[in-house]
Every structure is written in C-alpha cells, then in structure tokens.
Structure 1
Amino acid sequence: MHTRVYKNGTVEKSGFPVADVSDYVCDPGCVVWFDLCAPTEADLGVIGEELGLHELAVEDVLNDHQRPKLDIYESHLFLTVYSVHLDDEGMLDPVEINIFVTRNALVTVRENDRFDIYEVVKRWDAGKGMAGHGVSYLLHGLLDYVVDGHFALVQELDAQVEDLEDALFGQTGTNRDLQRRHFALRKNMVRFRKVILPMREVVNALLRRDLHVAEGEMTPYYQDVYDHVLRVAEWIDSLRELVGNLREAHLAEQGFRLNEIMKRLTGWAAIIAVPTAITGFYGQNVPYPGEGQLWGFWASTLVVALASVALYTVFKKKDWL
C-alpha cells in the first residue's frame, strides 16, 4: 500500500494509514493518492467508507476482466484501464488497473504487481511544477504512462511483423514455425485491440468539460494522450491488415510451390512412361524386330534412351522440370 498527500503542489506526507485518508480528504487544499495491489473485499470496503464510493464501482473492482471504461457517479469517477506487455513466452499479458477519481483524491487499484507503480510516481515527481493541478495532474501522469506502454507494445508488434515478413519471403523457417508465429501474433493483436479501442472512448470522455478533469493548462496534456491512443489504434489496425495479407501471401506461395512440384512430378512421370511403354511392348509374346538377337536388345535400349533424353530436353526448355 502506498499513500501520499499533496498540498500546494508539494508532497506533504506519505506512507500514512488508509484510515487517516478521511482527515486529509476533508481539507480542500489537500490532494490524496493511495494505491492498493490485489486488495481484499475488506480492504475495498474500508476505501468505500472513507471516500463514499458507489457499491457498483467497488463490485467492478472485485470482478476481473472488465472492459476499459469510464463510469460517472455522483461523487466520483471510476475508470478501468489496462497496462499491457509481453510475457516470457511472447504472449500478451494485460494488467487491470482500476481508478477512483474524486474532487481531491485518486485511488489506484492494481490487479497485481506486474504494473510498476513506482514508474508512475517517478513521472509525477519529475513534473513537480504541474502538481498544483491536483487530481487532474496525477490522473494524467498515470494514463500517460499506461498509453506510453501501449505505444511501446505496438512498436514491438510492428517489429515482429517485419521479422515474420522476412522469414516468409526469405524462407528461413519451417511452415509449422511460421504458422505458430503467425497465430501468436494475430492472437496478441486481437487481445490488444480489445484494450486499445475502448481506451479511445475513456480518454475522449475525460476531455468533456462537465467532468472538470481536463481543464485549463491540463487540457493540452489530455489531448496529447488522446492523440497517442488514436495513433496506437490506427497502427494496430494497419498491422492486423498487414498480417492478414502476409497470411494470404503465404498460402498463395504454398499453392505455387505445390503447383511446381506437381508440374515436375508430371514431367518425370511422362519420361518414365516412354521406356515403360517400349519395354512393355517388347515384353509381349509377339514377334518383333530383333527378337532373340543381341542387336534387338540394343535397339530397344537405344530407343528408350533417345526418347527419354528428347522428352527431358523439351520439358527442361519449357521449364517444366
């Protein structure tokens, strides 16, 4: 658990118990932030009593896999966002972050410790001159860090698409490996798209004037976050289309290779058919020129060789072999 209280844009106290939050929240000149990681239902009950949070918002925190959203209640706002990164196996690993926003308090509830809240605190401390904007500044720093993580992830996915493209056209991997990489990439993109598209609605809603979040000097900062969200959303859509085109190109190339193999097999089958026909003819129980004589054997052998060489030459010239 992490707690802080700001006054006049500076950190006045940190590390105090959550039970003391109500003492600071009552002071209009104070801005309170505290963070919970994987809290219990009892912990959330204490928060709800201290800040007067709506029971539906508290219930949403307890229910995992919420859609990124912004809920507006009479006394506070409730946001659900996701920090995303790739795990050791290269699969998307989202971390749910729930945020309660009141007039002078910000509460962050992390699903687990894979989201580094210390990096957010560093970002807050780096802009001390803006801390006087209170909750609006703290919320912006948090969302900006989350969206920067989205931007870094889509860049990593872009690099993976380029590697897949090089492997496909450079023929540096087996079909099974290419299919596995393609499937993992598409799965990550689909899951990531479910995170980033609703995020546009969340940030856009925060720009509404009646919410009094992005006001005054903070408005351009929220607009910048919204611009980054749009860029990530457009980028991931273009990558999904590119991956689909790569799959179609891969299937087309496999079909082309199969046609080439069938063409060569057909050519060899035609070459083999000629000596088979000649030897089969000479193997019948009917008289034929040179039957029972040595020159007849060599004549049939010469016909087989000449016919085979002639067919091979013709097929090679036509690029059938």
Structure 2
Amino acid sequence: MSRSRLYRDGVLETEDFPVDEISEHLADPAVVVWLDLCDPTEDDFASLGDELGLHRLAVEDALHARQRPKVDRYDKHCFLNVYAVRFDSGPGRLDTSEVSAFITERVLVTVHQTGHFDIDAVTRRWDDADSPAKAGVGFLVHGLLDYVVDSQFDAVQALDDQLEALEDLVFDDSATHAAVQQRSVRLRKCLVTLRRVVLPMREVVDTLTRGDLQIVGEELAPYFQDVHDHVRHASEWTDSLRELVATIRETQLAVQGNRLNIIMKKVTSWAAVIAVPTAISGFYGQNVPYPGFEQPWGFWVSTVAIVVVSGGLYAIFKRRGWL
C-alpha cells in the first residue's frame, strides 16, 4: 500500500500517482514529492532504493521496527525515525506509533505499519499549515515533526492530569493502598516509555536544522525553532513528572505510616482501658478472703472501680487524641 503527493512551486498538484513515475516528475526542479509506504517489503524498496539512492542500512532500519528516535546521515539522504504517542486513560496505557522517513533533496518517503501511525493526520497538517510550502521538502518534514511532537506534548498533558488525580487519591481515606500503588506503577511505566521517545527528540530537531543538511532554510527556521521549543518543554515536563511520581510514592508511604501509627495508638489505648476491668475483675475473682469477700458491698466496690478507672483512662486518651 502506498500514497503519494506532488507539490509544484509549493502547490499541491496531484496525488496517488504510481511510484514508477517519481523519476519522471523529479525531472522538474520545481517539484517536491511525498511517498508513503505502509507495511513495505524488501521488494518494495528494491527499485525505490536504486532510484533514490537509499542506503542499505537505512532500508534495514525502516524494515525492522522498534528503532530508537534518531537522524542518520548518508551520502544521498537522511534517515529519520520518530514516535507519535497517545495516552489511553481507560487502561492507563501509553500507545506508541513508529514512523520512519527518508529525506532527500526533493523527496520525503515515510514508512510505517498499518494501524500504528495516523498518516492522515499528517496530511491534514500539511493542508492546514501556515508554514511556507514553497520551502521544499523541509515543509513536509516540519509537518511530520510538528504532528509527532504535538502528540507527545498531549500525552505529557494527559499524564499530568492523571498524576493530579493520583495526588488526590493518596489522601482519600476511601481509596485502597493496592489501588493507589497499581495506578502509580502504571503511570511510572508510561512516563518511562514517554521519556524514551521524547528525550532524543532534541537531538533529532537539532540535527535536522543543521545548515550542512540543507533541509531547513531561512523561511522554515522559525517553524523548526517552535518545534524545538515544544520538544524541550515536553522533555523537561516529562522529567518533572517522573520526579513527581517518586514524590507521590514517598508521600503514600508516609501517609500509610501515619495511619498505621494512629491505628496503633487507638488499639493500645483501648487495650489499656480494657486491661483495667480485666485486672480488677481478676483480683475480685480470687478464691481467698479479701475486703468485701462474699459481701454485696464488695461487688459494688469492684464495679465502681472498673467504671471510674476505665472512664478516667478514656477521658485522658481522648483529650490527647489517641482515641
């Protein structure tokens, strides 16, 4: 499955033309071509690799998924690999969508798997973009990176909202310890995954804006600078959220320890109160003569002693906040 677009002097002229017509179109220096390959095979790259001069190592990286975010420079092109992300709040899962791209002087070739990357969102970004389309292939690269970075930024925002809810849950007496712990572990895993794809984006954008690559001209420089600012913000935000998760975990343990101390104080206080009637009734349960032995007033003395001493202990513990 493949899609294609042809821009002439910055204007979209035609779409979905056959791949074997690329050389014919590139004969015009005013033409910029985009080609999208979905689930490509080695045979798909055979003719295309010869036509565009794609390096064998770059083709291997495009065919084998789970590459790290990067920009590799070769003689005739650059190879780009990035990840769009989406946070699913239902199961608390972070979904990553990998896309690779070959960037030549006037051709952008994107490679991805079916259902793993929303290429339609990228084309809409190109159609609605305010960046100069006449800037050449850099215009297409900017639209792709802008969509990827925005998806990462939205994921960071969603995770931030989840952590705020988790903070409230830590101090909720009705929430169980297991539920808070499971949720914090899921969010920590999501942040680790997000950091793995966001942090290298600084280097990716910096490499693409290098003057010797001739991808980003003066017209596009402000637009790529805006993308770089979003990348830096997302990266710093991700790091701060990872620290916040650790802080929430420490707070949860502290709150749990405080609650346990309160429970222990209450149990100990009630044990002291209960020990009084146990001791007095045990004393009066002796089978040897004592003051009031086998006399009615002896029963009332023990009863009054139990009530007075137990009531006094209860009042003292209550005033100190132990009960």
The TM-score normalised by the length of structure 2 is 0.95
For the aligned residues, what is the CA RMSD?
1.6
Counterparts of 1:168-317 in structure 2, within 5 Å, are 168-317=170-319
Aligned-partner residue type, residue 64 of structure 1: A
Measured in 2, the distance between the counterparts of 1:128 and 1:247 equals 44
Measured in 1, the distance between the counterparts of 2:259 and 2:31 equals 70
- 1:257-305: CA deviations, max 9, x gaps? 0000000101111111111111222222321111112221221121111
Per the TM alignment, residue 134 of structure 1 is displaced from its structure 2 partner at its CA by: 1.1
Aligned-partner residue type, residue 24 of structure 2: D
Choose which of 81, 89, 92 in structure 1 pairs with 2:91. Answer: 89
Measured in 1, the distance between the counterparts of 2:258 and 2:218 equals 61
Q: Is the 8 A contact 2:105 2:215 kept in 1?
A: no
Measured in 1, the distance between the counterparts of 2:147 and 2:131 equals 18
Paired position in structure 2 for 1:163: 165
Q: Evaluate the alpha carbon distance shift between residue 128 and residue 23 of structure 1 in structure 2; reply closer, same or farther with a 3 A threshold.
A: farther
Paired position in structure 1 for 2:38: 37
- 1:13-71: CA deviations, max 9, x gaps? 21111122222234332211011122223223333233120010011112221110000
Counterparts of 1:64-83 in structure 2, within 5 Å, are 64-83=65-84
Q: Evaluate the alpha carbon distance shift between residue 269 and residue 128 of structure 1 in structure 2; reply closer, same or farther with a 3 A threshold.
A: closer
Per the TM alignment, residue 163 of structure 1 is displaced from its structure 2 partner at its CA by: 1.2
Measured in 2, the distance between the counterparts of 1:285 and 1:127 equals 98
Paired position in structure 2 for 1:59: 60
Q: Evaluate the alpha carbon distance shift between residue 115 and residue 31 of structure 1 in structure 2; reply closer, same or farther with a 3 A threshold.
A: same
Per the TM alignment, residue 172 of structure 1 is displaced from its structure 2 partner at its CA by: 4.9
Q: Partner of 1:243: helix, strand, or coil?
A: helix
Counterparts of 1:6-17 in structure 2, within 5 Å, are 6-17=7-18
Choose which of 106, 109, 112 in structure 2 pairs with 1:107. Answer: 109
Measured in 1, the distance between the counterparts of 2:277 and 2:129 equals 87
Counterparts of 1:96-135 in structure 2, within 5 Å, are 96-127=98-129, 130-135=132-137
Measured in 1, the distance between the counterparts of 2:131 and 2:260 equals 66
Q: Partner of 2:35: helix, strand, or coil?
A: strand
Per the TM alignment, residue 86 of structure 1 is displaced from its structure 2 partner at its CA by: 2.1
Which stretch shows the higher mean deviation, 309-318 or 167-176?
167-176
Q: State percent identity of aligned pairs.
A: 54
Measured in 1, the distance between the counterparts of 2:43 and 2:187 equals 40
Aligned-partner residue type, residue 289 of structure 1: P
Q: Evaluate the alpha carbon distance shift between residue 294 and residue 128 of structure 1 in structure 2; reply closer, same or farther with a 3 A threshold.
A: closer
Q: Is the 8 A contact 2:199 2:235 kept in 1?
A: yes
Per the TM alignment, residue 128 of structure 1 is displaced from its structure 2 partner at its CA by: 7.4
Per the TM alignment, residue 183 of structure 1 is displaced from its structure 2 partner at its CA by: 1.2
Q: Evaluate the alpha carbon distance shift between residue 265 and residue 129 of structure 1 in structure 2; reply closer, same or farther with a 3 A threshold.
A: closer
Paired position in structure 2 for 1:23: 24
Measured in 1, the distance between the counterparts of 2:308 and 2:186 equals 54
Q: Is the 8 A contact 1:9 1:130 kept in 2?
A: yes
Paired position in structure 2 for 1:145: 147
Q: Is the 8 A contact 1:95 1:112 kept in 2?
A: no
Per the TM alignment, residue 316 of structure 1 is displaced from its structure 2 partner at its CA by: 1.0
Per the TM alignment, residue 253 of structure 1 is displaced from its structure 2 partner at its CA by: 0.5
Measured in 2, the distance between the counterparts of 1:263 and 1:79 equals 62
Q: Is the 8 A contact 2:132 2:219 kept in 1?
A: no
Measured in 1, the distance between the counterparts of 2:130 and 2:311 equals 86
Which stretch shows the higher mean deviation, 168-177 or 3-12?
168-177
Measured in 2, the distance between the counterparts of 1:59 and 1:222 equals 28
Measured in 1, the distance between the counterparts of 2:305 and 2:174 equals 44
Aligned-partner residue type, residue 121 of structure 2: E
Runs of 4+ in 1 over 6 A off after TM superposition: none
Unaligned runs of 5+ in 1: none
Q: Partner of 2:199: helix, strand, or coil?
A: helix
Q: Partner of 1:217: helix, strand, or coil?
A: coil
Measured in 1, the distance between the counterparts of 2:111 and 2:180 equals 39
Per the TM alignment, residue 133 of structure 1 is displaced from its structure 2 partner at its CA by: 1.1
Q: Partner of 1:84: helix, strand, or coil?
A: strand
Q: Evaluate the alpha carbon distance shift between residue 229 and residue 128 of structure 1 in structure 2; reply closer, same or farther with a 3 A threshold.
A: closer
